Amino acid sequence: MSDEVILEAVREIEQGLVEADLGGNIYKKRIGIKGRGKRGGVRTILAYSKQGRTFFLYGFEKADRANVTLKEKEQLKILGNYYLDCSDKDLEAMLSSKEMIEYQEV
């Protein structure tokens, strides 16, 4: 997935266009794949905060699985809220160590 595709998904979340609000600032968002559109595309799980932070947590093709399990959903909530609560200094350290990458708006 390109930076632009992820950023478009974030813009749609900001407009309230989500497939599912999983609770705890975690959202399921469809992302289209070229030639297959959103219906046959990728499902993503994103942690989103109105304070300007969004983290891509997980992605899967609908053809591979229908959804995340309840246990996975709970773990993704924990992970997402951990990232959302991180200080700028902690995030910079994770970026420096390549533990995470940052998408930049173009």
Along the 106 residues of the chain, how does pLDDT read in single tens digits? Answer: 677 788 888 889 999 898 889 988 999 998 877 666 666 678 899 999 877 789 999 988 877 888 889 999 999 999 999 999 999 999 999 999 998 888 766 5
User: pTM of the entire structure?
Assistant: 0.82
Integer Cα distance of 65 and 79 in angstroms: 21
Closest CA to 104 of 54, 49, 51, 60: 54
Residue 42: the pLDDT is: 86
pLDDT at 72: 93
pLDDT of residue 102: 84
d(CA 24, CA 11): 19
